[in-house]
Amino acid sequence: MKKTLSFLIILTVLCTVFVSSSSSIVAAAAKTPFSRTNIPAQLQVTTAAGLNVRSGPATYFTKVGVVYKGQIVDCIGKLGDWYIIHMNNDTVGVVSGKYVKPYYPPNSQPAPKPAPQNPAPTPAPAPEQPDGQISAEAQKILDLANAERAKVGAQPLKVDMKVMEVANLKAKDMVEKNYFSHTSPTYGSPFDMLKQFGVSYKYAGENLAGNTSAERAHNAWMNSEGHRKNILNPNYNYIGIGIADSPKYGKIYVQMFIGR
């Protein structure tokens, strides 16, 4: 049977702002100063409705996506009063500064710790997950996904421990190699990676997120058409969930879906 590969990336090459190779963006940048200093690492959308993401710093530029009220996005630069953002689906675009505000994750500035009166004992290492079990955070992501599937009549996803292993390796690889992409410099595409680890499938797909909690990652996926389709796809019946601590995003979340 022909494999259906749900590989969803919309990559708008706004990166040309940095290398001055896109004539339309460069023309705007010639009149609009570009800055990568004194900008927040993340932005929160404040508009009451969907906010169009453009390919340049004006409303006449091509629409490349939409972000929604309350959504958190990464900020990678500024063109005048417009911010350059990187969304969870790998799309890069520009939004008006009128409709976003700087976002700082809770507890991003930890409170100073008082000097201990006595040396603190060395904590015992965290116990490893027993075979066949998943972490509480991974279970949360699974429960959220299955709750959405139940609303549309799709069968619940089951955990495949081999796919769990692959998803966790992908999350760790993204942190260690400092990239955010469906294509790993170590393992290739998610489909190549699944094959390398002996996972058979008829259908496969992958969702990625950089966020501070399972709930926020899930909400970002559900606000993105491509990622939402992966979560609700009735052809998928198994899932693997990878989570890794990230100095840039807080955590990297990976969902790998397969259908057999």
Higher pLDDT, 252 or 126: 252
pLDDT of residue 75: 87
Beta bridge partners, 85, equal: 75, 93
- Residue 245 pLDDT level (bands cut at 50, 70, 90): very high
3-state SS of the chain is: CCCEEECCCCCCCCCHHHHCCCHHHHHHHHHCCEECCCCCCEEEECCCCCEEEECCCCCCCCEEEEECCCCEEEEEEEECCEEEEECCCCCEEEEEHHHEEEECCCCCCCCCCCCCCCCCCCCCCCCCCCCCCCCHHHHHHHHHHHHHHHHCCCCCCEECHHHHHHHHHHHHHHHHHCCCCCCECCCECHHHHHHHCCCCCCEEEEEEEEECCHHHHHHHHHCCHHHHHHHHCCCCCEEEEEEEEECCCEEEEEEEEEEC
Most confident of 47-51, 121-125, 217-221: 217-221
pLDDT at 41: 81
Q: Where is pLDDT greater, at 63 or 20?
A: 63
Listed range (84-98, 129-143, 193-207, 238-252) with the worst mean pLDDT? 129-143
Q: Is the confidence at residue 89, as pLDDT, over 80?
A: no
Is the pLDDT at 22 greater than 70? The verdict is no
- Of the listed ranges 64-68, 120-124, 146-150, 197-201, the least confidently predicted one is 120-124
- Phi/psi region, residue 183 (left: phi>0; alpha: psi -120 to 50; beta: rest), is beta
Of 122 and 47, the structure prediction assigns the larger pLDDT to: 47
More confident residue, 123 or 40: 40
4-6: strand order across its sheet: 4-6, 203-211, 250-259, 238-246, 158-159
Stretch 178-203: mean pLDDT: 93
- Per-residue pLDDT at 219: 95
pLDDT for the residue 31? 55
pLDDT band at 91 (very low <50, low <70, confident <90, very high): confident
Of 219, 198, 209, nearest to 248 by C-alpha is 209
Q: Give residue 117's pLDDT.
A: 53
Q: How confident is the model at residue 47 (pLDDT cuts 50, 70, 90)?
A: confident
For residues 180 and 260, the answer to whether their CB atoms sit within 8 Å is no
CA pair distance 163, 257, nearest whole angstrom: 8
Q: What is the pLDDT of residue 43?
A: 86
Mean per-residue pLDDT for 127-134?
Answer: 55
Q: What is the pLDDT of residue 103?
A: 81
Residue 33, pLDDT above cutoff 80? no
pLDDT at residue 168 is higher than 80: yes
Predicted pLDDT of residue 1: 46
Q: Is the pLDDT of residue 159 over 90?
A: yes
> What percent of the chain stands above pLDDT 70?
75
